[in-house]
Structure 1
Amino acid sequence: MREITQEFLTGERALFQGNNLKITDTTFADGESPLKESSNIELYRSMFKWKYPLWYSRNIKLEDCVLFEMGRAGIWYTENISMKNCIVEAPKNFRRTTGIDLEQVTMPNAGETLWNCDQIKMKQVSAKGDYFAMNSSNIYIDGFELVGNYSFDGVKNMEIHHARLLSKDAFWNSENVTVYDSFISGEYLGWNAKNLTLINCTIESNQGFCYIDNLVMKNCRLLNTTLAFEYSTVDAEVVNTIDSVLNPSGGRIRAANIGELIMDASKVDVTKTVVQTAALKEEALKEAALKEAV
């Protein structure tokens, strides 16, 4: 493996089609596509300051590296890339890329990032920007913070653990998504999804969980959540009070209480949904006790 150390590289395609390179303490300054069509590259403590640094590349490893803001659209059409302890300031990163492994990566300008990608692992990643991870698939995430709306639109086959998401319209049009032990705040959560499961989560969402085919919630808390579950099939276990529920299509809802339950027989078949709350259970017990007394 050829070593390149403490270089300052400029000009378009500075290391075009580079192969078997170990690059350390090096700055890629002005000049597009410095490592386009490269393969078997290791980068340590290096910086990219201009556009399209890693297109059509294979088997790339970065540690303690930085992609500055003008390193935008930096990693497209690439296979097998890992990043550890990196800062990606550039937007529109990771497009149509397969085999992505991110650990302790910060993305403060992550608008339109991680689109149409496959086979993604993320651990201790933070990001800020709208439309994160649109139409990507086969994703595993553990330890994630996101500030940005319209995230995970159209994703398929995703598992998330220990996340904090401040994201309006998250998980729209998604399929086979499971979220564990996370906090989510955002309006209109999960619309048009299929097989969306949330376990041990706390969620705030105005008009959340509507138009969903097979919504599952286990041991969840809903805060300031109104007009939930409209036209959704649902199996929900909520441990606190749901402010309001509107016209679910079917299934079962269990909650400590429901502030307002709206079931309009002209909109849905109300017999297809079972609602169980502590208050309803207490009322049923009282009715049973009165009948027994008579």
Structure 2
Amino acid sequence: MQTIDQQKLTGERALFKSKNLLIKNSTFAEGESPLKESEDITIHNSFFKWKYPLWYCQNISLKRTTLQEMARSGIWYSHHISMNDSVIEAPKTFRRASDIRLNHVDMPNAEETLWNCKDIELLHVTARGDYFGMNSENIRVDDLTLTGNYVFDGAKNIEIRNSRLLSKDAFWNCENVTVYDSLITGEYLGWNSKNITFINCTIESNQGMCYMENVVIEDGSIINTDLAFEYSTINVTTTTMIDSVKNPISGIIKANGIGEIILDDEGIAASNIIYELND
């Protein structure tokens, strides 16, 4: 394997179609697409300062590496990517990519990141930005802290654990999502989605979980949440009181209490919902 050490690389396609490289202590400065069409590349302690650094690449490993703000749209159409102990300052990273493993990665400007990707693993990741994870699939997450609206819109096959999502309109248009031991706060949670399960989660949402099919909440804390479950089918067990429920289609709600039950759609039979109080 050839090694490039402590180099400043400039110009368009500086290392175009490279193979079997170890790049360390180096900086990719002005010049688009420096590693386009490359494969089997290991990158340590390095910096990307310009656009489109890793397009159409295969088998890329990055460690203690930074994609700075102008390295935007950085990893598109690439596959088998691992990134550890690194920072992505640039927006729109990861598009139509697959087999992505991020561990201890900070993304302070994660707007429009991880779009149309598949087979994703996020471990100990922090991210800030709207439209994170849109239309992606096969996602496993543990310890994600995300601040940004419209997270995972249109995504499917998601498992999330031990995370904190501060997001308006999270999980819209999703399918097959399970969230464990996490905090989700933001308006209009989960609309138009199906097969969504929250286990031991804290949920805070204005007009959340509406127009949904098969919403399951187990041992949840539903706080400061009103007008919930409109036109949804549900199976809900919460250890708290729900402020208000509006026009659920069918199912069960077991809670410490419900402040108000609103049934103003004559097409929905009140008998379709079973309400139970916790002992």
- Could you state the TM-score of these two structures normalised by the residue count of structure 1? 0.94
Cα distance in 2 between the residues matched to 1:265 and 1:227? 14
Cα distance in 1 between the residues matched to 2:237 and 2:275? 10
Matched, 1:144 2:166: no
Q: What is the match of residue 49 of structure 1?
A: 49
CA contact (8 A) 1:130 1:150 kept: yes
Cα deviation for residue 275 of structure 1 reads: 1.0
Q: What is the match of residue 4 of structure 1?
A: 4
Cα deviation for residue 115 of structure 1 reads: 0.1
Cα deviation for residue 159 of structure 1 reads: 0.1
Cα distance in 2 between the residues matched to 1:267 and 1:91? 46
Q: Deviations over 1:220-256 (max 9, x none)?
A: 0011000000000000001110000001000111101
Q: What is the match of residue 86 of structure 1?
A: 86
Cα distance in 2 between the residues matched to 1:251 and 1:266? 17
SS of match in other structure, 2:271: helix
Q: What is the match of residue 290 of structure 1?
A: none
Q: What is the match of residue 225 of structure 1?
A: 225
Cα distance in 2 between the residues matched to 1:98 and 1:114? 10
Q: How does 1:206-225 map to 2 (within 5 A)?
A: 206-225=206-225
CA contact (8 A) 1:247 1:267 kept: no
CA contact (8 A) 1:264 1:270 kept: no
Cα distance in 1 between the residues matched to 2:263 and 2:16? 63
Q: What is the match of residue 239 of structure 2?
A: 239
Q: How does 1:1-294 map to 2 (within 5 A)?
A: 1-264=1-264, 266-278=266-278
Cα distance in 1 between the residues matched to 2:214 and 2:265? 21
Cα distance in 2 between the residues matched to 1:72 and 1:119? 22
Cα distance in 2 between the residues matched to 1:268 and 1:92? 43
Cα distance in 2 between the residues matched to 1:166 and 1:235? 24
Cα distance in 1 between the residues matched to 2:208 and 2:277? 20
SS of match in other structure, 2:34: coil
Cα distance in 2 between the residues matched to 1:240 and 1:24? 53
Cα distance in 2 between the residues matched to 1:132 and 1:163? 15
SS of match in other structure, 1:50: coil
Q: Deviations over 1:68-94 (max 9, x none)?
A: 000000000001000000000000000
Q: More deviation in 219-228 or 264-273?
A: 264-273
Q: Which amino acid aligns with 1:147?
A: T
Over the matched positions of the two proteins, sequence identity in percent amounts to 57
Cα deviation for residue 190 of structure 1 reads: 0.2
Cα deviation for residue 267 of structure 1 reads: 4.0
SS of match in other structure, 1:271: helix
SS of match in other structure, 1:242: strand
Larger proportion of helix: 1
Cα distance in 1 between the residues matched to 2:71 and 2:265? 56
Cα distance in 2 between the residues matched to 1:263 and 1:192? 20
Cα deviation for residue 269 of structure 1 reads: 1.9
Structure with higher Rg: it is 1
Q: Which amino acid aligns with 2:17?
A: Q
Give me the CA root mean square deviation: 0.8
- Could you state the TM-score of these two structures normalised by the residue count of structure 2? 0.99
Cα deviation for residue 118 of structure 1 reads: 0.3
Q: Deviations over 1:144-193 (max 9, x none)?
A: 00000000001110000001010000000000000000001100000000
SS of match in other structure, 2:139: strand
Q: Deviations over 1:188-215 (max 9, x none)?
A: 0000001000000001100000000000
Cα distance in 2 between the residues matched to 1:100 and 1:58? 11
Contiguous gaps of at least 5 residues in structure 2? none
Cα deviation for residue 265 of structure 1 reads: 5.0
Cα distance in 2 between the residues matched to 1:105 and 1:277? 43
Cα deviation for residue 63 of structure 1 reads: 0.2
Cα distance in 1 between the residues matched to 2:234 and 2:203? 16
Aligned residue pairs, count: 279
Cα distance in 1 between the residues matched to 2:4 and 2:196? 47
Q: Please identify runs of 4+ aligned residues in structure 1 that moved more than 4 A.
A: none
